[in-house]
Amino acid sequence: MALAPKLELKQSQQLVMTPQLQQAIKLLQLSNLELASYVDDQLEQNPFLERDESPVDGPSERRSESSDESGDTPPASTEDANPVRETPDPHYNDADASGSASDAAYGEYRPNEWSSVSSGRSFDADDQEFGATLKKEISLADHLTEQLHLATRDATQLFIGAYIIDMIDEAGYLREDLSLIAERLGAELSDVEETHRMIMSFDPSGVGARDLKECLKLQLIDADRYDPAMQAFVENIELVAKGDLKGLMRTTGADEEDVRDMIAEIRALTPKPGYAYGGGVVQSIAPDVFVTKSPDGGWKVELNSETLPRILVNQRYYSEITSVKGGDEKDKTYISEQFATANWLAKSLHQRAQTILKVASEIVRQQDAFLAYGVKHLRPLNLKIVADAIEMHESTVSRVTSNKYIATPRGLFELKYFFTASIASSSGGEAHSAEAVRYRIRELVEAETKDSILSDDKIVEILREEGVEIARRTVAKYRETLNIPSSVQRRRAMLQRSI
């Protein structure tokens, strides 16, 4: 076959990643604080952007969507005081016949006026994270969360642990009562206490304590100095403030020299271990989404308009500048680029809010049993289930659920915490949550007697009879994550207790 030059026409489609599209993708994964900082920078740089200073009237003006417990998603709420103005673009509003002149001068991005949901475009590209090269000081919560994921793989402990970590203040103390946490999460008190003990073993030593005495106790145990004399000293620590050496000598049974040594040891400890991270200042978490009970028995999902930046695009200023004849071509290019950037930012913020609300509403619909009955009723859920339900890409859902928080009647959670693994059903029915299976394994073991110790094979048999298709190695893995000994060790321990 002879080689010769020739012309061919080919038609193809491809996604062109423009800089603006890349930036829109990055906006999805920013937290509300990072987004506010980014918008502030844009307001300083872009002459056509202005901050919308109009007051937010209240919760009734949050953009919302309702999800009932039957699994259906009814139309979005339309109870807002101000109806949405239908415009060709979400970032620009023309003045109506009764409007003021200023309404025509600005394109608007006002999230507090939104009251309905429209389908959003999925951003599917995976590229370098925005700010990935920036140095970030680790916070106490981040430090504890990292240790939590290294310490356990149990879904229940991860869920409870994440909530406890959120409740720990900047000094490193847990001020909330454990029974109240168990009640709020719908979890067993024993599970909350076990998870709390695990967190108290984390670095920094003393973190998670409920008072000063417990904080000092944890640090002394860590240093292997919590003997009976030191225990009595800590339990009567208020005598140190009074300078009552004789009282300390009497309660500890030690002489004056030993008491003074113990005082020196106590003073060398850290009464507020949390201050070692983030300079002692922890930024409070503002939820991106609110979930409340609706009158019809379902759940109402609303965006937190107070965390969404509100901007105006100054159309009048742009018209005045462009109407001036003459001028440098470079200046005209700059003006056009800045105006296009301003409009793009308004549209991207609108798109971001739409996507967050869609994802959060689907998560609430999927996990309504948790909201109603507690952590034991978490359903198996992954990114693909949510992505398919809202017709978006998994990468989009992943970005939306990172660093976004939802305030529910059971507490404040990051959206990604609602994703749990699934176990297939042996009868071909609905899959079981891995967390629910772990809970069932714990129940079976706790119900054992010395004459009926269950092996892993027997647990597999029982679970399969209950409709859970599970392998023996999976039962062994779950048993280990629950810190349950093997059947041989449990039988030996049972016999020793009966002697």
Residues 273 and 182 in one domain: yes
End-to-end CA distance of the chain: give it in Å, rounded.
Answer: 93
Residues 28 and 99 in one domain: yes
Residues 163 and 269 in one domain: yes
Residues 403 and 427 in one domain: no
Contacts 24+ apart (CB under 8 A), 58-61: 59/290, 59/302, 61/112, 61/113, 61/305
Tell whether 127 is covered by a domain.
no
Residues 362 and 400 in one domain: yes
How many domains does the chain contain in total?
A: 3
Tell whether 393 is covered by a domain.
yes
pLDDT at 57: 54
From 377, 397, 414, give the residue that closes a domain. Answer: 414
Tell whether 132 is covered by a domain.
no
pLDDT at 80: 35
Tell whether 131 is covered by a domain.
no
Residues 386 and 468 in one domain: no
- Token pair of 256, please? 């004056």
Tell whether 444 is covered by a domain.
yes
Residues 305 and 400 in one domain: yes
Tell whether 405 is covered by a domain.
yes
Tell whether 83 is covered by a domain.
yes
pLDDT at 281: 43
What is the CATH classification number for the domain harbouring 472? Answer: 1.10.10.60
The pLDDT tens digits along the chain (499 residues) read 567 788 888 888 776 667 767 777 888 888 888 888 888 888 898 898 888 877 665 443 344 555 444 433 333 333 333 333 333 333 333 333 333 333 334 444 444 433 333 233 233 333 333 333 334 457 888 889 889 988 888 888 888 998 999 889 888 899 889 998 988 888 889 999 999 999 999 988 899 999 988 999 999 888 888 888 888 888 888 888 777 888 888 888 888 888 888 888 888 888 888 888 754 444 567 889 999 988 888 899 999 888 888 888 888 888 888 887 777 888 888 888 889 888 988 888 888 998 999 999 999 998 888 888 887 777 878 888 899 999 888 888 888 888 889 988 888 888 888 887 655 555 555 566 677 788 788 888 888 887 888 898 889 888 888 878 788 888 888 888 888 888 888 888 877 766 5
pLDDT tens digit sequence for 463-499? 888 878 788 888 888 888 888 888 888 888 877 766 5
CB atoms within 10 A of CB 297: 10
From 266, 282, 298, give the residue that closes a domain. Answer: 282
Residues 380 and 443 in one domain: no
pLDDT at 192: 92
Residues 30 and 106 in one domain: yes
From 282, 301, 329, give the residue that closes a domain. Answer: 282
Residues 333 and 388 in one domain: yes
Residues 155 and 219 in one domain: yes
Phi (first) and psi of residue 371, to 5 degrees: -60, -35
Tell whether 204 is covered by a domain.
yes
Residues 255 and 371 in one domain: no
pLDDT at 428: 53
- Token pair of 156, please? 């229940």
HEC readout, the chain: CCCCCCCCCCCCCCCCCCHHHHHHHHHHHCCHHHHHHHHHHHHHHCCCEEECCCCCCCHHHCCEEEECCCCCCCCCCCCCCCCCCCCCCCCCCCCCCCCCHHHHHEEEECHHHCCCCCCCCCCCCCCCCCCCCCCCCCCHHHHHHHHHHHHCCCHHHHHHHHHHHHHECCCCEECCCHHHHHHHHCCCHHHHHHHHHHHHCCCCCCCCECCHHHHHHHHHHHCCCCCHHHHHHHHCCHHHHHCCHHHHHHHHCCCHHHHHHHHHHHHCCCCCHHHHCHHHCCCCCCCCEEEEECCCCCEEEEECHHHCCCEEEEHHHHHHHHCCCCCCHHHHHHHHHHHHHHHHHHHHHHHHHHHHHHHHHHHHHHCHHHHHHCHHHCCCCCHHHHHHHHCCCHHHHHHHHCCCEEEECCEEEEHHHHCCCEECECCCCCCEEHHHHHHHHHHHHHCCCCCCCCCHHHHHHHHHHCCECCCHHHHHHHHHHCCCCCHHHHHHHHHHHHC
Domain residue limits at 211: 140-282
Cα separation of 260 and 449, whole Å?
51
